[in-house]
């Protein structure tokens, strides 16, 4: 069994595990094996000789006083002081003696137990490594093949060494996938379920998914020349994205949209033709809210705490609200302000004013002077 130390490094290399972690697993496995084979009423110590790299197992014996009843009841785990002094004259009550238990004498049963212990703990190490890997990937976009769709319409996607889940609630309305489909999504969260183990949950409905798709499609965003500030989405319907440029010669909106809209159309297609509005970010709240309400034309914006009171002509109100209130909801989500619309008084007076201008131009005296009569 001592040969197990020789393969620790190869296990670590093969599985991509930390050598020290594998060493700890070997020590723990042998300790647990000793407990099961010799009895858990005894104390043990596992030692790895740094020079010979041999694995050694010791049983600890507690030194007790000569009249201690424990030495009589369990003489293998306790030793009276007078007998212990025959081994070490300087030993005292409360000290420990250790006896080496030859590993070769453990037998087949112990070997089988040790093998199971090692497999169990190595598997835990691998799972911990995978968990840490995917925890670091939260918010990152991935692609994988659909391997199963269950009765609840949850989609299971194979990505490298794990089978991730795309719940129905995280799928864009109207989407459906079949086995073999390649699906893009973003890793929403990674957690441990008591019954099912590690769960990697995917999503196609989060703002982060749109953000990462834009990053893939727009080189200026990937390079850091254009920055995405905020993203608001109503999945499958409409979204708003605010961007700014880190370079004076780069138009952030133009870069995101692309020539003839080719870039934004590619992203929209991946999102089941979601309509995406790109606006330029502003650190001035009033300007930011104004741009967020586009295509509506706003007269004025007043910020009161987390509320934005927006004054606009009455004929722009329906544009500001949008179909089923979608535009104002997205603008509020994007900017973080509760938006209140106020119609500008007398805004419809533009029509009477134009009529007066027409009457003035049709004045008969003016016509006479014009034609020299």
Q: Please give the CATH topology (third level) of the domain spanning 284-373.
A: GMP Synthetase; Chain A, domain 3 (3.30.300)
**Chain centroid to CA 246:** 27
Residue 16, token pair as written in the block: 């991509």
Q: What is 218-281's CATH number, 3.20.10.10, 3.40.50.300, 3.40.1010.10, 3.30.300.20?
A: 3.30.300.20
Helix (H) or strand (E) holding 79: strand 78-80
Same fold, 218-281 and 284-373: yes
Closest-CA residue to 15 (of 112, 109, 128):
128
- Greater pLDDT, 30 or 225: 225
Domain extents for the chain? Answer: 2-134, 138-203, 218-281, 284-373
What architecture is the 138-203 domain classified under in CATH? Beta Barrel (2.40)
CA distance 81 to 89: 10
pLDDT the model gives residue 5? 61
Does residue 145 contact residue 158 with C-beta atoms inside 8 Å?
Answer: yes
CA distance 359 to 356: 5
**Average pLDDT of the segment spanning 38-62:** 75
Integer Rg of the chain from CA: 37
Secondary-structure percent of the chain, ordered helix, strand, coil, rounded to 5: 45, 30, 30
Residues 6+ apart with CB under 8 A from 169: 205
DSSP state for residue 216 in the 8-state scheme: H
Q: Please give the CATH topology (third level) of the domain spanning 2-134.
A: N Utilization Substance Protein A; Chain:P; domain 4 (3.30.1480)
CA distance 317 to 295: 11
Residues 7-22 pLDDT 10s: 677 777 777 788 788 8
Does residue 66 contact residue 81 with C-beta atoms inside 8 Å?
Answer: yes
The number of CA neighbours under 13 Å toward the Cβ of 56 is 14
**Average pLDDT of the segment spanning 217-232:** 96
Helix ranges, 98-166 (H): 107-136
Does the pLDDT at position 87 exceed 90? no
Query: Is the CA virtual torsion 133, 204, 275, 239 positive or negative?
Result: negative
Residue 282, token pair as written in the block: 């502003």
Q: What's the angle, vertex CA 192, arms to CA 190 and CA 195, rounded to 5?
A: 135
pLDDT the model gives residue 373? 40
**Chain centroid to CA 286:** 33
For the ranges 89-98, 208-217, 336-345, the maximum mean pLDDT occurs at 208-217
For the ranges 47-56, 166-175, 356-365, the maximum mean pLDDT occurs at 166-175
């Amino acid at each position: 069994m001592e040969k197990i130390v020789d393969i620790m490094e190869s296990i670590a290399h093969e599985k991509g595990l930390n050598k020290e972690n594998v060493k700890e697993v070997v020590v723990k496995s042998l300790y647990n094996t000793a407990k099961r084979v010799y009895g858990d009423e005894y104390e043990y110590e596992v030692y790895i000789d740094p020079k010979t790299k041999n694995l050694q197992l010791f049983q600890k014996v507690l030194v007790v006083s000569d009249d201690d009843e424990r030495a009589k009841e369990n003489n293998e785990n306790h030793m009276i002081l007078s007998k212990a002094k025959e081994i070490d004259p300087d030993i005292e009550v409360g000290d420990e003696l250790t006896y080496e238990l030859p590993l070769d004498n453990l037998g087949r049963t112990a070997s089988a137990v040790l093998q199971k212990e090692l497999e169990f703990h190595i598997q835990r190490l691998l799972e911990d490594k995978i968990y840490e890997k995917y925890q670091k990937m939260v918010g990152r976009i991935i692609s994988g093949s659909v391997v199963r769709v269950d009765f609840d319409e949850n989609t299971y996607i194979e990505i490298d060494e794990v089978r991730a889940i795309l719940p129905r609630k995280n799928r864009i309305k109207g989407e459906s996938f079949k086995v073999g489909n390649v699906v893009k999504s973003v890793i929403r969260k990674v957690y441990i379920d008591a019954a099912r183990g590690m769960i990697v949950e995917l999503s196609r409905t989060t703002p982060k998914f749109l953000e990462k798709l834009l990053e893939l499609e727009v080189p200026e965003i990937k390079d850091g020349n254009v920055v995405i500030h905020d993203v608001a989405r109503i999945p499958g319907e409409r979204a708003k994205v605010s961007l700014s440029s880190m370079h004076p010669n780069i138009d952030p909106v133009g870069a995101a949209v692309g020539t003839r809209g080719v870039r934004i159309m590619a992203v929209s297609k991946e999102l089941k033709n979601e309509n995406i509005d790109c606006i330029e970010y502003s650190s001035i709240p009033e300007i930011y809210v104004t741009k967020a309400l586009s295509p509506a034309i706003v007269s004025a914006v007043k910020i009161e705490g987390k509320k934005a009171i927006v004054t606009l002509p009455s004929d722009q109100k329906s544009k500001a609200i949008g179909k089923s209130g979608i535009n104002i909801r997205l603008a509020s989500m994007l900017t973080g302000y509760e938006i209140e619309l106020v119609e500008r008084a007398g805004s419809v007076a533009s029509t009477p004013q134009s009529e007066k201008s027409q009457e003035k131009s049709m004045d008969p005296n003016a016509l006479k002077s014009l034609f020299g009569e």
